[in-house]
Structure 1
């Protein structure tokens, strides 16, 4: 695909920064299976323009221009590395926004350090390995990682005075989540030394009989059980687990089930077309008598989730989603025929994080330019300016 160059001009009041124009580079995945609903270019890219408009409305970085260069890594590690070199060496970008998935982020973060340029990633980049500030000192991460989930889990445990748990994990639809989460739980336990993972067991048989066998085994080791399944609560495994627990006497007041999950809204499961279902409802079959049995199980559960990067979703976010879709059809994106299918009529799940990444970059630049304009593209100096709060 050809790169897209976008120029936003802001009325000049102060002198231009060194370099005259902020050069923003983006790495996107375009219609890649497995990631489209979350980070597709066709349903997210215009969020960056919305962020620029917000900076203008708030009179931030007045007098500065923004140039966008968009390339496509297609969620592929090797392509991402090549595209990152192009952005840094050929397009001479001041910051790289992306990639949006874990594996491509590793070489891109390393290249950003080599070129000493800031990089801000969003979307599905949740690996705790990316949090290594010694290895990746020029990086900022907008997405919530499994390490953050582990820390939040600890807070819940301490709040209720619990200190032991059993970890049961599945590799069904392996997306690296559960093994990474298990490792991050163990790291968290070793660091704080106030919780105990009394048992860890892999769920290899996902039938009701297989899950019952695991429940029987786990219940002999503890009553606080932490099941880990594929991201997004989209395969019905959470429901099957709680249904088996409810049918076989594992949902008494003795038991608590804590589901730590990224790309999830917990008790609300987004469906294609913008609809939702509850996790105790059977996937794709309409109301079933067993839904009420599963509901009994979920009444003994706690979800710890990232809300798919959206926080408390209200009407303002719905308006944002609609604007993302509308603006993809407008200049400079001009995505008309390619964005006309029903799949592209709902904003990508993490489009809000792309907005926040660009907006946060603007806030950081505002601080850096006040202190030392010459450092505006110094990657190793950049992360400390990301600290702060704002309404995303």
Structure 2
């Protein structure tokens, strides 16, 4: 697939891959990136895919003036500083440091006990009704949280909870082999029998995420995933027996961003070599040619002059039947976010609230002492 696109760009496809795994460990990242640059004499590093490892590998690449393109969860805003990282391209959805849109209240809840959640929401209720919640995916924490909010009386028409997470596909939890689990399904044994109740509770919430590099079209990404698995059986990977296992029957998370990283590098390299045929490993010059926009496998890819992709986020909700629906997209450039709705009328979004949008402040005020 990638080779086909290189041919379309009229780039010579004589190449080889050298694979190293940093395991998101800084020590491994600095050692392996040095090995790749000095011993393997690579022309580019595609990765790492997490922030801590990306930082040290990026510094190393800058020292050697080698291009490096990070992806996946390398979402650190500091990598966008081109004065510090002039050879770095970032294809993940990096966060901005601006906080003028959301007032955050950070609370650490270690064991997710009902009493702790109720206490925290009691404090939050004194100053907010729209609550942004950040909890890790896959452990049932979000289900525990939303049921605790309901039981404690903090899930009525006044409250809106927005689950924000980069490592998320909305209301579906990714599993091995391309399977998914609904977010309201109980993961404990025995089950508490509250799945239907939890689904209705999540109907009062929204999720904003990056869809884990799958873009806005699930069908399009499914086709891409099938082609990835099919081509893994070909050279240079020749993965036949192992890739027939169920857990390897679907492309890994953020594979779309990996594809787009290689594509961005190829186009930038093509433009660079037209200007200077000797600049094959000149990271600074290659990044100077990285500004571009195209429809990628991970959604719309727009890369700025600093080598960093402008983030795209997706806002998802649930319909009455528990089906996830894409409500809108948020594209970010600098400190500005543009929301593009995907619906004709917002009444359907608030079906669990009688079709009415929740207020940012109750009619009687947060403390109930205001007269409407």
Aligned counterparts of 1:316 and 1:259: Cα–Cα separation in 2: 25
Correspondent of 1:200 among 98, 106, 131: 106
1:364 aligns with 2:268: yes
Shift of 1:142: 1.1
The answer to whether the 8 A contact 1:246-1:293 is kept is: no
Aligned residue pair count: 296
Residue 85 of structure 2 corresponds to 136
The answer to whether the 8 A contact 1:258-1:302 is kept is: yes
Correspondent of 1:379 among 283, 308, 313: 283
Residue 218 of structure 1 corresponds to 124
TM-score, with length taken from structure 1: 0.69
RMSD between aligned residues: 2.4
The answer to whether the 8 A contact 1:246-1:294 is kept is: no
Correspondent of 1:265 among 156, 166, 169: 169
Correspondent of 1:97 among 29, 32, 46: 46
The answer to whether the 8 A contact 1:281-1:288 is kept is: no
Correspondent of 2:239 among 317, 325, 335: 335
Aligned counterparts of 1:249 and 1:335: Cα–Cα separation in 2: 53
Q: Secondary structure at the match of 1:348?
A: coil
The answer to whether the 8 A contact 1:247-1:293 is kept is: no
Residue 110 of structure 1 corresponds to 59
Report 1 or 2 for greater relative contact order, CA contacts < 8 Å, sequence distance ≥ 6. 1
Where does 1:172-251 land on structure 2 (aligned, <5 Å)?
Answer: 187-189=97-99, 192=100, 196-197=103-104, 199-230=105-136, 233-251=137-155
Aligned counterparts of 2:248 and 2:219: Cα–Cα separation in 1: 20
TM-score, with length taken from structure 2: 0.72
Q: Secondary structure at the match of 1:329?
A: coil
Gaps of 5+ in 2: 297-372
Aligned counterparts of 2:80 and 2:115: Cα–Cα separation in 1: 39
Aligned counterparts of 1:284 and 1:290: Cα–Cα separation in 2: 12
Aligned counterparts of 2:274 and 2:143: Cα–Cα separation in 1: 53
The answer to whether the 8 A contact 2:215-2:221 is kept is: no
The answer to whether the 8 A contact 1:269-1:278 is kept is: yes
Shift of 1:72: 3.5
Correspondent of 1:348 among 252, 257, 278: 252
Relative to structure 2, which stretch is displaced further, 74-83 or 108-117?
74-83
Q: Secondary structure at the match of 2:131?
A: strand
Going by fraction, where is helix more abundant, 1 or 2? 1
The answer to whether the 8 A contact 1:242-1:297 is kept is: yes
Aligned counterparts of 1:251 and 1:321: Cα–Cα separation in 2: 38
C-alpha change, 1:383 and 1:328, in structure 2 (3 Å) is same
Aligned counterparts of 1:284 and 1:128: Cα–Cα separation in 2: 37
The answer to whether the 8 A contact 2:11-2:270 is kept is: no
Shift of 1:308: 0.2
1:54 aligns with 2:18: no
Residue 65 of structure 1 corresponds to 14
Q: Secondary structure at the match of 2:196?
A: helix
Aligned counterparts of 1:286 and 1:386: Cα–Cα separation in 2: 53
The answer to whether the 8 A contact 1:81-1:108 is kept is: yes
Shift of 1:228: 1.3
Residue 45 of structure 1 corresponds to none
The answer to whether the 8 A contact 2:6-2:13 is kept is: no
